[in-house]
Amino acid sequence: MARYKPNEFAQNLLMPISLQEQIMPGSLEYAIHTLVDERMDMSLFDEKYRNDDMGRRAYDPRILLKVVLLGYSRGLISSRKIEQACRENVVFMALSSGQYPDHSTIATFVSSMKGEILPLFRDVLLVCEEMDLLGGTLFALDGCKLPGNASKQWSGSVDDLKRKHTKLEEKVKELLAEQENEDREDGDDPPDPDNRTHRQKQVEKLRKQADRIQAWLKENGQRIGMRGKEIKSNITDNDSTKMQTSHGTIQGYNSQALVDSRKQVIVHAEAFGNGQDHHHVPPMLDGAKDNMEGIGQSPDYFKGKTFTADSNYHSKVNMQKCIEEDLDAYIPDRAFRTRDPRFAGQERYGHQMRTHYALEDFHYDEEKDQYICPNGKRLALKEKCHRSTGNLYRLYRPQDHDCSDCKVKGKCIYGNGRGPKNLMVPIGPDGVNLTKLMIEKIESEEGRKIYQKRMSIVEPVFANLRIHKRLDRFTLRGRIKVNIQWMLYCMVHNIEKIANYGFA
């Protein structure tokens, strides 16, 4: 008969643990521990505490920052998970000196770093500079859209929210009327207590939702976008926005990072509540310049450097900023892939037979200054001078009802699909045609070689943050707090570079 060693779990073990020996030189936790203690100016937090003579001793900000950075590096974005790790994981115990900060303390610490996060980010950037991890001649900009701590069901224009509030109040009245009718019909028979309780809970829930909308409407108005038109607001987090992603629609933030090509160090990071990248180059370049000046570099640090970004950044504002900063920029237009012979035959890039109508399929009536579509409907002049992608256009549009029952609607010109489509007739460039100049530049042999490097520079950075660090959402609300969380993750990425390149 087989014999085994006894399995006795009901026993106690006394294990001597040296916290100092748990932080091994060369590891990420060692880099975090040393940088926070020796290279980062933590005196910035001293002014927040007023417990010199009275009050309980506070947790050292060094300990809180260490456990937060280590937690983010291991995919622990929740403050409750970080608190649990401080009680169960020996490496977290070592960084926290055997203390167990509460999750509320950790969450408050992170969300209150408004004035400290940028100086701390620059402290890490300075170490990268001293270790010769910066100094590349090519920079790549990209972003990732991440869900925020807000529900997209609470989004809409001010009018939408007013209508939703009205519907909720009407639903409450209907439920109360149903309850009154049941009470009359029951007569002497007692009403069903379960049904009454369920209806009361439903009424209470709907009233809370209606009151929440009403309170928000009293304090907030329309949210105006960069085009001067109203954009959707959100009751939970009004700084966030609805954005289309490859995984569907999300309510969140567009997180941007500018990356140095030398060792893929992030030189500036910022989160925006705007899903479009048409205006993100100016603030990102200005932020990066401030960061480099903050670590002792020249104000002309980026002058003459090469800058790349994908087609989402192709706009007059972004290209004009690159010209002002004297950057050798490569930002392709949306049709870049359709002209690339390497993608010939791929339907997703438009390399196929034309199936939609184009301008040449519309007949022009010169006498009435109208266009006639292939289905015989007339398009009248809507706008004489429309600016788009560096060109001027005349816009022609049909009547609203002309497109509703059109039999060839599926073959019509491309548009947003929500109503009648505009026929754009080019009339000339809008000043200097930056789009045309960029197309000529990026389609040259040298331009294609430079732009190909973009993906190998910036995409691995987002892969590290999203896959290895498991950053799949933001847990805080408000652009300021979300930006803190995003910069902390980017700081972890840079510290990891420091650890991997010999910081001991």
Q: Are residues 145 and 252 in the same domain?
A: yes
In the prediction, which pLDDT does 186 show? 61
Q: Are residues 325 and 449 in the same domain?
A: yes
In a domain, 261, yes or no: yes
In the prediction, which pLDDT does 246 show? 84
Q: Are residues 24 and 103 in the same domain?
A: yes
Q: Are residues 181 and 252 in the same domain?
A: no
What confidence category does residue 318 fall into, taking pLDDT thresholds of 50, 70 and 90? very high
Instruction: Report the alpha-carbon angle 375-349-355, nearest 5.
Output: 20
Q: Write down the mean pLDDT value for the chain.
A: 88
Q: Are residues 91 and 215 in the same domain?
A: no
What confidence category does residue 493 fall into, taking pLDDT thresholds of 50, 70 and 90? very high
| The two three-digit tokens of residue 451, written as one number | 């732009």
In a domain, 275, yes or no: yes
pLDDT in tens, 98-128: 999 999 999 999 999 999 999 999 999 999 9
Q: Are residues 82 and 104 in the same domain?
A: yes
Q: Are residues 205 and 64 in the same domain?
A: no
Q: Are residues 265 and 301 in the same domain?
A: yes
pLDDT in tens, 348-382: 555 445 567 888 888 888 888 889 888 888 888 88
pLDDT in tens, 51-90: 888 888 899 999 999 999 999 999 999 999 999 999 999 9
- Provide the residue type at 96 as one letter: S
What's the CA gap between 463 and 455, in Å, rounded? 11
In a domain, 5, yes or no: no
State the distance between the two ends of the chain, measured CA to CA, in whole angstroms: 54
In the prediction, which pLDDT does 229 show? 85
Which backbone phi and psi does 468 adopt, to 5 degrees?
-75, -40
In a domain, 239, yes or no: no
pLDDT in tens, 151-206: 988 999 999 999 999 999 999 998 888 888 877 776 556 666 777 788 889 999 99
In a domain, 187, yes or no: yes
pLDDT in tens, 235-246: 999 999 999 888
Q: Are residues 25 and 81 in the same domain?
A: yes
In a domain, 320, yes or no: yes
Q: Are residues 376 and 451 in the same domain?
A: no
As for how many domains the chain has, the answer is 4
In a domain, 235, yes or no: no
Element (H, E) at 394: strand 391-397
- CATH number, domain with residue 298: 3.30.420
What confidence category does residue 437 fall into, taking pLDDT thresholds of 50, 70 and 90? confident
What's the CA gap between 494 and 391, in Å, rounded? 41
pLDDT in tens, 337-349: 777 666 555 555 5
Q: Are residues 330 and 450 in the same domain?
A: yes
- Looking at 385, 409, 430, the residue that finishes a domain is 430
Q: Are residues 80 and 104 in the same domain?
A: yes
What confidence category does residue 137 fall into, taking pLDDT thresholds of 50, 70 and 90? very high
Domain enclosing residue 102, as ranges: 20-48+56-112
